[in-house]
Chain A
């Protein structure tokens, strides 16, 4: 049976996680390249905001009061996304990462049981341990599992697909664009040695790069996951991501980065069962790069928008609630304010407690 796990509005959920003041408020996240909405939470959807909508020229009649707007903070999303995958790996032997917010988990059937229960457990564990809501679709194939997740919203976050799909439903299903690549090396006998893990990781990395090149893709992030057998004793699983300065398909870059990440999360003397590598592009890349070279032309309206909304909206970023800046301040500073700090990957950005 296949479980499709989707962290709906994932970027908005990440922005919300460390901002207790934004509970129950609408949040939108904009693409850094063209200022379109690429993620939003339910509260923002209820205001009529939609994915893909331009924030530079919002549709008229839009209720933008109190909407918190963020530019994409990929360091944060990559870190939280890789934590999700660690939990999936702990709970399921066979994980395939589809994108930063979607994954497929394959469970052997064995006449089992209660897949709704497994799905609910998965959802609850992710919510409790990471703080990000996910929904789970359950079906016999990847397409149907994804469909179950996208077409039926039961409100419980668990959607089972039983019966056969009607043609109309399948036609409506979004085309499946596989744009994340993940490869796992699993060991029947536990592996202790770093050297051995490194060579298995390198083999997976080689295959991942080959697949990346086959589809002429480039990776913006590489993540390494490492885990022991969750069932035997106190398990250990960890993950670490690195962002490339520029998206790359270079074997040398990816090998070097992945081996460096492995060394940082490796703990000596543990019985490892799995090492996994994932390559992910930037979300913006999905639609292809728009108007290359027009960066500046795009930035100008974004800055103007930033100024306009700063005047209306208690925008937040940084460690203190922002007092609204003088509007004649420099555009750059105002743009910076739309970026949240690296809450989880930089000591200077961690959340404050009182």
Chain B
């Protein structure tokens, strides 16, 4: 014979309030900044003008990442790709900028938010 016992939910379950998108998008809050995409160079990579970028400075930039870097006094967003022995910053139009020692990478894009 078995008895069903109604178990009271633990205190952690009772405090559920709502889905929090921060939990999905932000893994390291102190290292996370938001930026607004204005350029059209990454549309085929899924980033459209006016998208909100979640930029995580603690996430190491590796090949295949979308990174924000400083270029000619502006923030620019490109894909970091391997190019032989070095790294390149690539956009949809096939432009490839070599990653030099002076290139200052601001952070890695860890998420994109778009309101439709």
Q: A interface vs B, CB < 8 Å?
A: 20-21, 23, 83-84, 86-87, 128-131, 192-195, 234, 236-239, 265, 267-269, 343-344, 347, 350-354
Contact = CB atoms under 8 A, between A and B. Distances in A.
A265 B32 CA distance: 14
Contacts of A267: 20, 22-23
Interface string B45-76: 00000001100011000000000101101111
B29 interface: yes
B30 interface: yes
B15 A354 contact: no
Contacts of B31: 83, 129-130
B77 interface: yes
A354 B106 contact: no
A193 B12 contact: yes
A130 B36 contact: no
A213 to B, nearest CB: 30
25 contacts: A20-B106, A21-B73, A23-B70, A83-B29, A84-B30, A86-B30, A87-B30, A129-B28, A129-B57, A130-B31, A130-B57, A193-B11, A193-B15, A234-B27, A237-B29, A238-B29, A344-B33, A350-B36, A351-B33, A353-B35, A353-B37, A353-B39, A353-B53, A354-B39, A354-B74
A20 B29 contact: no
A239 B75 contact: no
Given A267-B20, A268-B15, A350-B34, 11 more contacts: A23-B104, A193-B11, A237-B29, A237-B30, A344-B34, A352-B36, A352-B75, A353-B35, A353-B36, A353-B37, A354-B76
Contacts of B76: 353-354
A344 B75 CA distance: 15
A269 B53 contact: no
Interface residues of B, number: 35
Interface string B73-112: 1111100000000000000000000000000101000000
Nearest to A87: B30
Contact of B30 (A83, A192, A350): A83
Residue among B16, B29, B73 with the most chain A CB within 10 A? B29
Give the top 6 A-B pairs by smallest Cβ distance, nearest first: A21-B73, A129-B31, A20-B70, A86-B30, A83-B30, A354-B39
A326 B7 CA distance: 72
Nearest to B42: A353
Contacts of A268: 12, 15-17
